[in-house]
Amino acid sequence: MNISKELETALNEQIGIEFSASQSYLSMAAYFERKAFDGFAQWMHLQSSEEHQHAMKFYQYLNDRGGVARLPAIEAPRWEYGSVREVFEASLEQEHSVTENIYRLYKLAQDESDFATVSFLKWFVDEQVEEEKSVSDMIDKLKMAEGNPDSLLFLDRYAMERKSEEPA
């Protein structure tokens, strides 16, 4: 059974959202590289790569279900920030927005009784919980390190230890 036109449109939008998130994280990585925060830069590079993989999962699923991939335009991401914490706060805001979109997609798939798409989207629902938690935890740590350059450099090294996650 091919995907409905409405879900096809929504999945294409999601491909754009994931590629846009990937670009945005790459821009955050570039900001950290300019500031010589190698660990935070590495964190954002990994995040950018994961978002690219998310986009490709949606792209592949759309093709597998007989949908037409019509990739949307992507707006240029923000490239300047005032502090490390501001970058991670922007990241959390972005993840909240992605989660809302995933929930909207999930609801649409449920309303259409498209159980294959519901099943496909479950991985993303769980992934968003993990992504929001890891960014939120980092913001908490950054708040504790406020005004203490040694602690900030320690967190930069800690961020370097983040491992890549292959999507299932």
Q: Which among 94, 96, 86 has a CA at the least distance from the CA of 32? A: 86
Give the separation between CA 166 and CA 49, rounded to whole angstroms.
10
87 binds ligand FEO (CB under 6 A): no
Nearer residue to ligand FEO within complex by CB, 18 or 156: 18
Q: Which of 8, 18, 114, 156 binds ligand FEO (CB under 6 A)?
A: 18
135 binds ligand FEO (CB under 6 A): no
One DSSP character per residue, 42-93 reads: HHHHHHHHHHHHHHHHHHHHHHHTT----PPP-PPPP---SSHHHHHHHHHH
8 binds ligand FEO (CB under 6 A): no
Residue nearest ligand FEO (C-beta atom): 54
Binding residues for ligand FEO, rule: CB under 6 A, are 18, 21, 51, 54, 95, 98, 131
